[in-house]
Amino acid sequence: MKILMLNYEFPPIGGGAANAHRCLLQQYASNNDLRIDVLTSAPKPGFFKETFADSITIYKVGLHKKELHFWRKTEVIEWLFKAKFHYRKLLRENDYDLAHAFFGFPTGWLCYRTANKLPYIISLRGSDVPGEHARLKLDYKILGPVFAAIWKKAAALVAPSEGLKDRALKFLPSVAIDVIPNGVELERFGPAETAQEPPVLRLLTVGRLSVTKRMEILIDAVEILHRAGCDVRFTIVGGGQLQQKLKQIVSKKNLDNIIEFTGRIDAEDMPQVYHKNDIFISASCTEGMSNAMLEAMASGLPIITTRCEGTEELIADNGLVVENANAEEIAKAVKTLADDRQLYKQMSIAARSQAEKFTWGRVAEKYLALYERLK
């Protein structure tokens, strides 16, 4: 079977969807029954061909990228304009069985234009599904009809969580949507070997610093804990346009010695980051399914999160879901774990156990079954 995959972001560009795509390719690297070409992007102008594995080739369309983890509208348009030429060239030169697009837009647009020649699957990721995304509300209004047309022509639509599926069906109830969750690299992410109780409670969050992450709520929660006498530290991993604004908020609250901004950390260094922390906290209002949360779980970190897509699948007895997204409730949940060491240990063990249900091998098998069904 020969598959053309499209994703406008791929490491080092992008976040969760880019990482998910890379992990899926790693599972297929030794599959001799698959031939995969990937069309994606590069952070500098040019056109680059890379060999990912003997059966997997990656073609990168170079852009004038300003930030690796934030897409300006001009960059999205630039990718669409440049990728269109290479996409059609690949179609002319190869006899693909189907296309697999990560994101309904912009990547799905290329597949939509050639739907009469090649059936396509769309993996919905989150930002490409209309909903309560403050930065993209106008985009959703303008592009809503385009999204609907792309979805309707797809041979299959896939969401990584039941929550994202529900959001997608609110936008377009007439389509069928499969659910294939994200996975986690269990061999890379594991619990730290420590027997001593840390003297300081170390909180961690990981993600792009965007409005949907609601970092201000987490900062306020840490302030509440600090003012209440809790010896706490909070590490924020990730970059984004809001970083400077958030740093100013932290400074104004005189929390510079309590809250650390690391910026983006390379993927190979992330296991050590999880090992240095005790609890993963999140106030995100929208997620497809959080890769960072899965990594934290695999590392044995209990989770404290607000309710959003993916939490139903990820959080059982390994964390606390805060129904009211406010700083007081998050601080209260953190205090619950900080004051009950036995509960913390139970949730830590349960976190790893829960993560073990989400392997990339299982994800790859489910996608392969879908490919076979549609070819």
**What residues of the chain score a pLDDT lower than 50?**
none
- Considering only the top CATH level, what class is 2-183+359-374? alpha beta
End-to-end Cα distance, the chain: 8
Q: What is the pLDDT of residue 271?
A: 95
145 by DSSP, 3-state: which? Answer: helix
Sign of the dihedral through C-alpha 112, 45, 125, 32: positive
Instruction: Give the pTM.
Output: 0.88
Q: Which residue has the tokens 């994606």?
A: 40
Residue 135: the pLDDT is: 59
Q: Please give the Cα distance from 62 to 324 (Å, whole number).
A: 43
- The domain limits of the chain are 2-183+359-374, 201-355
* CATH, domain range 201-355: 3.40.50.2000
| Alpha-carbon separation of residue 18 from 67, 191, 217, 219, 291 (angstroms) | 15, 24, 27, 27, 11
For residue 245, what pLDDT is reported? 95
Which parts of 146-296 are beta strand (E)? Answer: 156-159, 177-179, 201-206, 232-237, 259-263, 279-282
**Intrachain domains 2-183+359-374 and 201-355 with the same fold:** yes
Question: Quick one: pLDDT at residue 286?
Answer: 79
